[in-house]
Structure 1
Amino acid sequence: MSQLIDASQARARTLSRNRWAALVAALALAVLNIGLSGPATAEPTGIGDASSTPKFLKLTLDSVTPNTVTTSSDAVVTIAGTVTNIGDRVVDDIEIRTQRTGAITDPRGLRSALRLDQSSYTVNTPFVDVARELNPGQRKQFTLRMGVRAASKGSASLDITAPGVYPLLLNVNGTPAYGGQARLDDARFLLPILGLPGDSDPKSTPPVSAPTEAPVATTMLWPLADRPRLVAGIPGSVNGKALLTDDELAGELATGGRLDQLLGALESAVHPDSAGTGANLANALCLAVDPDLLLTVSDMTTGYRVLASPSDPDGPTRDGTGTDAAKAWLNRLRALSSTMCTVSLPFAQVDLSALAAVHDAALTARAITSPADLVDQILSIKSVHGVSLPESGSFDADAATMLGQQGFTSAVLADNAVAPAGTAGTSSSSGSSVHTATPVSVNSSTAAPSTVRLPGPTPPAAAAPANGTSTVTADPGMKVSTFDIWPATALAAVGSNPPTPAFTPENVRYDVSKDSRTARLQDALGAMSWTALNPQPNRPRSQLLMPPQQWSANRDEASTLLTQLQTLVHSGLATPRSFQDLLAAQADSHSYEVRYSSGATTDAVPNTFIAPVQLQAGRITDLMKTLVEVPQQEPTPRTFLTPLRDDLVRSLSLSDRTSTGSQADTAAQRRLDQTTTALDGLFRSVTVLPPGGVYTLASEQSPLLLVARNELPVAARIRFKIGVPSGTDITDIGEQTLPAEGTRSFQIPTKVSDSRSLTIPISLTTPDGIALGNATSVKVRSNAYGSALAIITACAGALLFLLAGRRLWRRFRGQPDPADEGLDPGKRRRLNKYLRARSRVLQRQETP
């Protein structure tokens, strides 16, 4: 016993000496005006803002059990975590306690409560020693246990008396070397209390359940999407293999990959069990699938290639490794989608406001109209049509008009993306791609009703019929189903790559990646449960849960969220509502308009991409008009050019634009450049071949022979554009057709009126006059002599005819011709022979 006392006294003396030594050193450095690196200035009581104190310790939340408290769960909450010394000095006397504040009574508190100063967490449990000291780089795990309800004196308890969503804080104190005791870090999270468990004696402390008189109708979308992976600038072909920028998608589809885990968690949740709970939960869920992902996975199933370097699209390639994984994943998705609601996302998570600014009908149809048909075709199902789900949760007025023109009757937007008519304060200058955005703050955010209607354009007034009744009716506009931004923000933070959505108010944004994954999952569980636990006056009991489209939750996290939804349903706090029933809900009677927030503007596709995409989209349309569809011949013009149009849509993608350090602009510019280069090559592939040398016309009406070549795998319609020199008449032969991957000769009727050398410029155009291929020129030499030579020849012929007639006349009369006097008969015969030969030559020249 005395040995223990002596050891204790020795340890106390050692600590005392260390403290005195630290104090003397600190005073000496202060006198010498030498600053210590990172002095501990936090208050020793642990009260203060952790963000203003040096970071010596890092507190990480590892698990919370149970993550949701119910009447049947354990009455003790167990919190496990890890403390790591991330500083450059030893930290002594490390201790931790749990604090909480009151239940959240306003949905905005689901986010803002996590930023409160720790002094606001007024209910404290006693400090628990974790470690006597931690050296730099060392870590120590800990476990805290506390009762949910009030406990006996001296026991740790959260002292919760009613169901609700409670913010909790773990507070770690320590004493860094050369400093005093301070609060060195904290970890905050939400704990949903759906019911209070009873004591071992139910009579003394009975369970307390949350009211279930008005269960919230709940719908949850389950997104499956990925960033664009296909290399741009490759037209469609019959037997060609797809080329991907990298092989990361193979890992995501394989066992343990992100997309495999998301699909697996959903399969497990909706698979009907003996009690039928899975089928019941499936009624509240709807798959939201990116058609660009489906196209890519479908291409992978037949074999594909991958760039050796993603930044070098023209470099070497290698075989992809995910063919089998793609087949298995796609088959699983087909089986699951056939048993539950499925809806298409916009193609490649395109920015609808940027798409509207491009003003290209074909590009618009491909981005928002075709996706539903693509999903139906690839998955062999009938998906939900006519509803738009923008990735940003908002769009501007031009995008709303565009959707209405494309036949969309519904959209799903954030509840702060719409506002009562006349109050949004937003505008979009049609055609200028300029948006006036409204900042949305947590203090001014007022949630819109669960279903509102955007007014459509009013038709012009018509003259009233004779009977006094009018047949002119107004367009009812688009119905908008809104989702709560607070659960959506919390769901976006779940996973390995947590973004902050565009609709999250500016003054509650922070770097959620600094929180542990367990803490972020707890926040999502609390946010999902808040509406069920807190009926709001004048608000329908409705909830739409909307995770981000490119979600990075793993299987355990996804399964935990689905289990939470199932728990809400089983406890009577929620009731499943199908996505179709949500879309069919009656809209609020008041008129609303879109509100394009500053957050959406920040994360939007920059306006610098609008004009280039518009230009290249127009070129694709021009080329589409030129190509000819031949029966039984593949590829068709549409299948040949659609991949290039898809590349332009991918250039307007919002994928990864909310992530920190995103290279979205670089990827979009590279994709646009590759598409532009590919189109340049396609337009050059249809051209007229230079003849080489000098082309000689045998006569003034000899045709001009030209050869045109089409290197495209699709037949093309062309027109010749020929420069006509003076004195030359060249007939326009009109529209002609070149066979696929072939050449064709053309005779161009030409008339040249004189003999000379000519240079005739020649090129090909589309039927609409768009230049094709490379212009060339033909050097022509004509043997025609013109009208003067024709007159001289005619006069000479007439004179010859007169002289010959005169000679014959004298001969018939027996009178010698004076011209023959003294002429030798032999010479006369040779002269006559020469004259006859010359006459024949002249006759042949006069004959065309």
Structure 2
Amino acid sequence: MVDGRRRPVTSVPGGSSRGLRPLPALLILVALVAGSALLGAGVAALGPGAPALAAPSAPAGPSRGAGANESHHPDTALATISIDGVRPTVVTTTTGPTIVVEGTVRNTGERVLRSLTIRLQRGPAVRRAADLRTELAGDPATFEINGEFSAIANELRPGATTGFSLRMPLSSAAGLRISEPGIYPLLVNLNATPDDGAPARVADSRTLLPVLSLPPDPDRARRFVQDPAAARGLGPDGSVAARTSTPAPFTMLWPLAAPPQTVPGRVGAGATDRILLVNESLARSLGPGGRLYNLLVGLRPVKAAGPGDPRAAVRESLCLAIDPDLLVTVSAMTRGYAVLANPAAPAGPTKPGRGEAEAKAWLTELTALAANRCVVALPYAGVNLDALHRVGNTALTRLAVNNPADLVDAVLGVKSVRGMALPAAGHLTDNGVAELTKAELPTALAASDGIAPRGGSDPSGQYAIGRVRVSTFEPAISAALGAAGSSPHTLAYTPDAQRVDLNTESAVSRRQSALAALAFPAIVVPDARFPARPDDPLPVSGRGALIAPPMFWSVTPEDAVDLVATAGLLLRSGAATVAPLPAVVAATAKAPRPARLVPPLGAPEWLPAPETARSIDASANLTWQLQASLLGSPGVPQAGEAHAAAATPERYMAPLRYDLIRALPSPREASTNEARTRLIRTAQAARVSAVADTLQRMRASVSILDPGGRYTQVSERSPLLLVTRNELALPVRVRIETAAPLDFTIGDVGIIEIPARGTRQVQFPARSATSESTSVTFTLVSASGVLLGGDPIKLSVNSNAYGKPLFVVTLIAAGILVLLVARRMWHRLRGTPDPADADRPEASAQDRFLAGRDYSWRQGESTQHPPDGTDD
């Protein structure tokens, strides 16, 4: 029996009777006339004795067909259905014999809807994980088990709403006819008659119902009494137990990640630097009601679960998967930050950030939640392995996929799970495996639809692909989880058949589908009658229930409560068993069964253009070269701090490398839009260009001050003096290379250190062998060989040295002097007068007298008359 209890009809203000617009009204009138003509022609063709066509909205008996004249796709412009409640969310032996679906119908068109009727339908049980999505996107004709139509309103005006409540038995012939555990698609079907139209299906809404076990049923109880041996799984009261003979190992990741928010092209000199963000969207996400805030709120019941609580088992199976980019950014926000006044102007003015308190509260709660819990690091900023392969920089790859664990441990004070890569997109390619091999990561998580086992599926869902071992998960389950929450989206690499129009489904219907997807591996035991692949009774993921939601998950606290409760129910019932992530990693590392990769549907818009990839490689190498020349400096403690972290070259240069990694994101949503591709590539190029510009400015910040004009040496060995300048926040080691003519020698001063934001005078020993003007070139390079300071400095040097002519003249003059002295000595020794004295006059008597007196006499008696009595 179907309970179609009505709810009050409500209408929007002024929505009593909206007139049709001229053009739509004309088109509708033409369509109706044409339709009436065709319908009349069809009836005439059948002859006068032909039966009349039945309107699908007529609630005439318990029809089991989908409705012969119902279209596959309703006119969603006329109405929408919002499922607001499903009870029970998971069927068990204790939940009762009926299912209740409640919701709201809204008239979204411009015509009055009349004679509104609604019913509940069921499709075949889901056998494969992919059907979790295809059954929500397929033909409604597959929903063959139908309830009766129930009237919910005589008319519904544009913009008005009315409620409904449908109740059906789970197992009886007049109900959903569910007789065994499984995942069952449900469809709520709305028929109505628009003004100036014919009765039609105007809206539907779909969801999934997980049936873990079934409550008592009189009919099944009679079967048990008649033949207990044949009624396997039945209880005496007709209840059906959960399938617990092969429980699914249950592991669940809880992702915490966000798109990058930092302004690119900025370096950091330590903990005292203020981070600059594009806008306040991350602060809003961390605050009450935000996406990241809700993700932590949803885990509070798990944290508080005590012994015996089913949620305690969930805690053992659950692992926090954290993006280190998010963690580092939030940690920096707790020390104060700034945001751009205009996000479109990265070099423009900034203003103080307002989310410091939210960042502190969120990080404090996360730290407490992560203590003594499983934590694993996601690749930095959700980097794309295929994009890393296109760049071809092994050091950058290791930084992106190996280093994140150290960052998470440093911020949260934990020891995260090591040895497994969790690619953000979930799909691996040969290029991705090559990058993991370079990074020396032995295991990875991979989507099952990208793996083709050799020789059949393995029950563990773990395989060997070259030197990398992979553990598989079902991407359809991830897609169902991604469709839940406040910001539902379709994951990248989702096949067309599995793409569901999420805009037509309510939050409750999407949540219900997520619960069913979560329970699928534990409830649906592989059956040889429904192989996942030809000649293979097991799905690629085997019996494992490794749940991997999308990176930017947006579940609400209500979603999280139901998900955790469902996981606890599966574990308590024995349909699933606890499988901690460290145990999964250890088992995966030993996976023996070989497999090959199946290329996924491409997402080329997320791969960098070749020129962008080359720029990333060059800039990454340059950051390490510059870092090798920098020196650390002690940190300056801030108010209230006992000490401050030292400013190291690694901390100074690392932000630029992480900016390059942020330019290589994994695809998040399914899209082939060319305009979106151009937008993504433009954003990638802009971030990479910002890093390249910063590196160029850093190189120009260390320079030689041009003395300008000429330099004059006092002597041939006078040194040359130059002044070097460093505008960077850290000291730098450099050397100055010189080039000069052969007749001008300059000594090498070796490696010198220039202080941070300071200058240093450098004295070069020099020797000039000529008095001519000489041109000398000085080139500044870092100690690691990076050209600094722009163009080399050219200096014109004038020397006072006379060179070889002066040397020759000096030697000749010295020789002449020696000869003259020798000649005079020769004549003196022989007692002969020197011919050079022949022209001198004879000395007077007074000169001879004075020559014979000593100096003291001359000083004391110089005023006396000469002995000859003559007057002066």
TM-score range, shorter chain: 0.7 to 0.9
Residue 803 (structure 1) shift: 6.4
Aligned length: 751
Residue 380 (structure 1) shift: 1.2
Q: In 1, Cα distance between the equivalents of 2:210 and 2:774?
A: 89
Using the TM superposition, name which of 779-788 and 806-815 deviates more.
Answer: 806-815
Matches within 5 A, 1:498-509: 498-509=488-499
Structure 1 residues 105 and 609: CA distance shift in structure 2, 3 A: same
Is 1:610 the counterpart of 2:613? The answer is yes
Q: In 2, Cα distance between the equivalents of 1:97 and 1:245?
A: 49
Q: What is the CA deviation profile of residues 741-766 of structure 1, one whole-angstrom value per residue up to 9, with x for unaligned ones?
A: 32222222222222233332322012
Using the TM superposition, name which of 376-385 and 191-200 deviates more.
Answer: 191-200
* Aligned residue number for residue 670 of structure 1: 686
Counterpart of 2:510 (choices 520, 539, 553) is 520
Is 1:420 the counterpart of 2:453? The answer is yes
Using the TM superposition, name which of 24-33 and 401-410 deviates more.
Answer: 24-33
Residue 478 (structure 1) shift: 2.7
Counterpart of 1:791 (choices 783, 808, 817) is 808
TM-score (norm 1): 0.81
SS at structure 1 position matched to 2:126: coil
Contact 2:627 2:653 in 1 (8 A): yes
Is 1:635 the counterpart of 2:653? The answer is no
Residue 403 (structure 1) shift: 2.3
SS at structure 1 position matched to 2:141: helix
* Aligned residue number for residue 240 of structure 1: 273
Q: In 1, Cα distance between the equivalents of 2:35 and 2:771?
A: 100
Counterpart of 1:490 (choices 462, 480, 487) is 480
Q: What is the CA deviation profile of residues 564-589 of structure 1, one whole-angstrom value per residue up to 9, with x for unaligned ones?
A: 11121223322222112222336554
Is 1:534 the counterpart of 2:524? The answer is yes
* Aligned residue number for residue 652 of structure 1: 664
Counterpart of 1:758 (choices 770, 774, 786) is 774
Structure 1 residues 120 and 151: CA distance shift in structure 2, 3 A: closer
Q: In 2, Cα distance between the equivalents of 1:379 and 1:749?
A: 55
* Aligned residue number for residue 410 of structure 2: 377
* Aligned residue number for residue 75 of structure 1: 97
* Aligned residue number for residue 163 of structure 1: 181
Q: What is the CA deviation profile of residues 669-700 of structure 1, one whole-angstrom value per residue up to 9, with x for unaligned ones?
A: 33222211211111112111111342101222
Structure 1 residues 606 and 340: CA distance shift in structure 2, 3 A: farther
Q: What is the CA deviation profile of residues 34-85 of structure 1, one whole-angstrom value per residue up to 9, with x for unaligned ones?
A: 999xxxx999546444447472222232222222222211433222223223
Q: In 1, Cα distance between the equivalents of 2:26 and 2:783?
A: 89
Structure 1 residues 189 and 669: CA distance shift in structure 2, 3 A: same
Matches within 5 A, 1:664-703: 664-703=680-719
Structure 1 residues 553 and 666: CA distance shift in structure 2, 3 A: farther
Is 1:570 the counterpart of 2:586? The answer is no
Q: In 2, Cα distance between the equivalents of 1:683 and 1:804?
A: 66
Contact 2:419 2:585 in 1 (8 A): no
Q: In 1, Cα distance between the equivalents of 2:788 and 2:32?
A: 82
What one-letter code is carried by the residue in structure 2 that aligns with 1:575?
Answer: T
Using the TM superposition, name which of 635-644 and 397-406 deviates more.
Answer: 397-406
Matches within 5 A, 1:109-508: 109-150=131-172, 157-198=175-216, 206-238=238-270, 239-273=272-306, 275-420=308-453, 450-456=460-466, 477-508=467-498
Matches within 5 A, 1:55-66: 55-66=77-88
Residue 549 (structure 1) shift: 1.5
Residue 528 (structure 1) shift: 1.9
Identity %: 37
Q: What is the CA deviation profile of residues 590-617 of structure 1, one whole-angstrom value per residue up to 9, with x for unaligned ones?
A: 3123333124556555555322211100
Using the TM superposition, name which of 731-740 and 248-257 deviates more.
Answer: 731-740
Residue 805 (structure 1) shift: 7.0
What one-letter code is carried by the residue in structure 2 that aligns with 1:160?
Answer: I
Structure 1 residues 30 and 237: CA distance shift in structure 2, 3 A: closer
Q: What is the CA deviation profile of residues 120-142 of structure 1, one whole-angstrom value per residue up to 9, with x for unaligned ones?
A: 21121122223333333333333
Contact 2:248 2:544 in 1 (8 A): yes
Q: In 2, Cα distance between the equivalents of 1:30 and 1:416?
A: 44
SS at structure 1 position matched to 2:567: helix
Q: Which runs of 5+ in 2 are unaligned?
A: 1-24, 43-52, 57-66, 223-236, 529-536, 636-644, 845-872
Q: In 2, Cα distance between the equivalents of 1:28 and 1:767?
A: 82
RMSD, matched Cα: 3.5
Q: In 2, Cα distance between the equivalents of 1:624 and 1:671?
A: 20
Residue 526 (structure 1) shift: 1.7
Contact 2:205 2:504 in 1 (8 A): no
Q: What is the CA deviation profile of residues 77-108 of structure 1, one whole-angstrom value per residue up to 9, with x for unaligned ones?
A: 22222322322333322222221122122333
Contact 1:344 1:372 in 2 (8 A): yes
* Aligned residue number for residue 462 of structure 1: none
Q: What is the CA deviation profile of residues 656-679 of structure 1, one whole-angstrom value per residue up to 9, with x for unaligned ones?
A: 565796954444333222211211
Residue 31 (structure 1) shift: 12
SS at structure 2 position matched to 1:765: strand
Q: What is the CA deviation profile of residues 364-423 of structure 1, one whole-angstrom value per residue up to 9, with x for unaligned ones?
A: 2321222111212211111111111111112333432332343322211111222236x9
Q: In 2, Cα distance between the equivalents of 1:702 and 1:819?
A: 49
Residue 491 (structure 1) shift: 1.2
Residue 506 (structure 1) shift: 4.1
Residue 739 (structure 1) shift: 2.7
Is 1:584 the counterpart of 2:586? The answer is yes
Residue 800 (structure 1) shift: 6.2
Q: What is the CA deviation profile of residues 185-214 of structure 1, one whole-angstrom value per residue up to 9, with x for unaligned ones?
A: 211211112223336999677333333222
Q: What is the CA deviation profile of residues 204-251 of structure 1, one whole-angstrom value per residue up to 9, with x for unaligned ones?
A: 773333332222221111111111122222212232212122222222
Q: In 1, Cα distance between the equivalents of 2:130 and 2:252?
A: 20
Contact 1:100 1:168 in 2 (8 A): yes
SS at structure 2 position matched to 1:87: coil
* Aligned residue number for residue 745 of structure 2: 729
Q: What is the CA deviation profile of residues 714-754 of structure 1, one whole-angstrom value per residue up to 9, with x for unaligned ones?
A: 22221212231353222333332223332222222222222
* Aligned residue number for residue 546 of structure 1: 548
State which structure, 1 or 2, has the greater radius of gyration over its C-alpha atoms: 2
What one-letter code is carried by the residue in structure 2 that aligns with 1:668?
Answer: Q
Contact 1:43 1:183 in 2 (8 A): no
* Aligned residue number for residue 598 of structure 1: 601
Q: In 2, Cα distance between the equivalents of 1:136 and 1:62?
A: 21
* Aligned residue number for residue 11 of structure 1: none
Q: In 1, Cα distance between the equivalents of 2:566 and 2:608?
A: 35
Contact 2:251 2:318 in 1 (8 A): yes
Residue 544 (structure 1) shift: 0.7
What one-letter code is carried by the residue in structure 2 that aligns with 1:73?
Answer: T
Residue 552 (structure 1) shift: 1.0
Contact 1:43 1:182 in 2 (8 A): no
Q: Which runs of 5+ in 1 are unaligned?
A: 1-23, 424-445, 457-476, 826-848
What one-letter code is carried by the residue in structure 2 that aligns with 1:571?
Answer: S
Contact 2:183 2:516 in 1 (8 A): yes
Contact 1:419 1:448 in 2 (8 A): no
Contact 1:718 1:738 in 2 (8 A): yes
What one-letter code is carried by the residue in structure 2 that aligns with 1:679?
Answer: L
Structure 1 residues 224 and 723: CA distance shift in structure 2, 3 A: same
Q: In 2, Cα distance between the equivalents of 1:630 and 1:820?
A: 83
* Aligned residue number for residue 13 of structure 2: none
Q: What is the CA deviation profile of residues 317-368 of structure 1, one whole-angstrom value per residue up to 9, with x for unaligned ones?
A: 2222222222222222122212321111111111122223333343223212
Q: What is the CA deviation profile of residues 419-455 of structure 1, one whole-angstrom value per residue up to 9, with x for unaligned ones?
A: 236x9xxxxxxxxxxxxxxxxxxxxxx9775343435
What one-letter code is carried by the residue in structure 2 that aligns with 1:759?
Answer: S
Using the TM superposition, name which of 242-251 and 199-208 deviates more.
Answer: 199-208
Q: In 2, Cα distance between the equivalents of 1:330 and 1:29?
A: 62
